[in-house]
Structure 1
């Protein structure tokens, strides 16, 4: 997988992509993330990429020209499955969407800024609009990092344990159960006996019951329409 991220502040993303799972995926040749500074595609001597909104109002708008030149340049080099725009009014990102995107080959992610992009960018280039929640960030970079991390970790071979991602919260529509590690007793607090029993069938049953219980307590909305 290759993900090209178009941004006004590439430095904000260099850190997250140079460590941990994302770095491991790149080292293994399983995924590649490229950052593109939108100002490099400005034809203005001041590298301007935004301007005032027609009709007035507070805030600046990202211009169509630099964005169009950047996307066109990328598309001239390879095919892309999606051109994604990170925006508060996009479809809410969830595990199902992460699963779907992880099956794609090449993605472009455009990070919004200011009051957003010229609407003609969305009309001509964008194939998918994503939000990570009902709040506003200073820009789309952190949201793009969230999406990229959630997607790349699902690519086979990225995680050391191939089954790890399959047991994450939300994969089966439930929150993950409690987990424990050594020591078995800490300051009088004991690990549940069932987890020390070695009985895999009963452990799986306990974990499922705990997932349902935790989901019912913390995210009852996930259980609507389900017979638990």
Structure 2
């Protein structure tokens, strides 16, 4: 998998991309992560990427031209242009300055590389985009998902993480202004994601959350492949409690069943504990699940016990 992040602050990703699970995933060659400063695609000597909104109002709006130019460069095999210093400091490299950048900024919106747009043919191996023999079978490649991080987006869930983990290429767009020019939404991105109903300074921290959640699902990333399967939300339930050595700490003992060695009973206990924790903390999740008769019977027992304690 390849993951690109368009941001004005690529240095924010240095530690995240090279530490812990993400760093190990890159070392193993499972994923390629990069953060690109889209200021280099501004097409002007001042590197201006925002402007005042039409119609008046406060704040600044992210311009469409540098975002479109950056995405189009990535889709055509670019690496964000320039040296490592260019990417961090936002210096405009020669290949996207002057007439080239001006031409890119004037491109028609319908040529944006969203899923349904003609520029996606670059990723699909079309004759016009690759110069291939018209009679040859096209080399089909899936178009990347271009993801805008914003408070208005779809709330990110474990199910969305699993969906995105099956993609080959993801491009995240992170802003730092009052908003995005609406043409970015309408003609470029394929997804809009939010990590919750609150406001942050920019899209960088949400992008880090989403990327970490996706990459850990890729085959070979986690040392124990069952870890991702049994995590909270992967089964639709909150995760059961965990214990390790010592068996007794300050008078608090590990449940006897976990020391019994009886694997079937342990699995039943874990399932019941996951149901109990979900019922207590996130009962809304239970409405979305297909529960077994055993699950329903255990939940009925919890409800009965709860009602009895309230009556006494």
Q: TM-score, normalised by structure 1?
A: 0.97
Does residue 201 (structure 1) correspond to residue 260 (structure 2)? The answer is: no
Match of 1:5 in 2: 5
Does residue 70 (structure 1) correspond to residue 133 (structure 2)? The answer is: no
Distance across 2 between alignment mates of 1:96 and 1:157: 20
Name which one, 1 or 2, has greater alpha-carbon Rg.
Answer: 2
Distance across 2 between alignment mates of 1:116 and 1:25: 33
Match of 2:244 in 1: 181
**Residue in structure 2 matching 1:102, options 157, 161, 165:** 165
Distance across 2 between alignment mates of 1:58 and 1:15: 34
Contact in 2 for aligned 1:13/1:142 (Cα 8 Å): no
Match of 1:144 in 2: 207
Which structure shows the higher helix fraction?
2
> How far is the alpha carbon of 1:49 from its aligned partner?
0.6
CA RMSD of aligned residues (A): 1.1
**Residue in structure 1 matching 2:194, options 119, 131, 136:** 131
Match of 2:154 in 1: 91
Match of 2:178 in 1: 115
Distance across 1 between alignment mates of 2:31 and 2:24: 9
Distance across 2 between alignment mates of 1:72 and 1:95: 29
Distance across 2 between alignment mates of 1:222 and 1:130: 20
> How far is the alpha carbon of 1:46 from its aligned partner?
1.3
Distance across 1 between alignment mates of 2:9 and 2:233: 32
Which structure shows the higher strand fraction?
1
> How far is the alpha carbon of 1:98 from its aligned partner?
0.3
Q: Quickly say closer, same or farther: Cα 1:199–1:86, change in 2 above 3 A.
A: same
**5+ residue gaps in structure 2?**
78-121, 124-142, 297-312
Distance across 2 between alignment mates of 1:144 and 1:116: 16
Give structure 1 regions of 4+ aligned residues with deviation exceeding 3 angstroms.
225-228
Contact in 2 for aligned 1:174/1:222 (Cα 8 Å): yes
Distance across 1 between alignment mates of 2:273 and 2:175: 40
Contact in 2 for aligned 1:84/1:127 (Cα 8 Å): yes
Distance across 1 between alignment mates of 2:57 and 2:11: 29
Does residue 82 (structure 1) correspond to residue 145 (structure 2)? The answer is: yes
Distance across 2 between alignment mates of 1:212 and 1:160: 27
Bigger relative contact order (CA 8 A; separation at least 6):
1
> How far is the alpha carbon of 1:225 from its aligned partner?
5.5
Match of 2:51 in 1: 51
> How far is the alpha carbon of 1:57 from its aligned partner?
0.8
* 1:145-194 deviations in Å (ceiling 9; x for gaps): 00100000000000000111000000111000000010000011000000
**5+ residue gaps in structure 1?**
none
Contact in 2 for aligned 1:17/1:23 (Cα 8 Å): yes
Q: Quickly say closer, same or farther: Cα 1:120–1:225, change in 2 above 3 A.
A: closer
3-state SS, counterpart of residue 226 of structure 2: coil
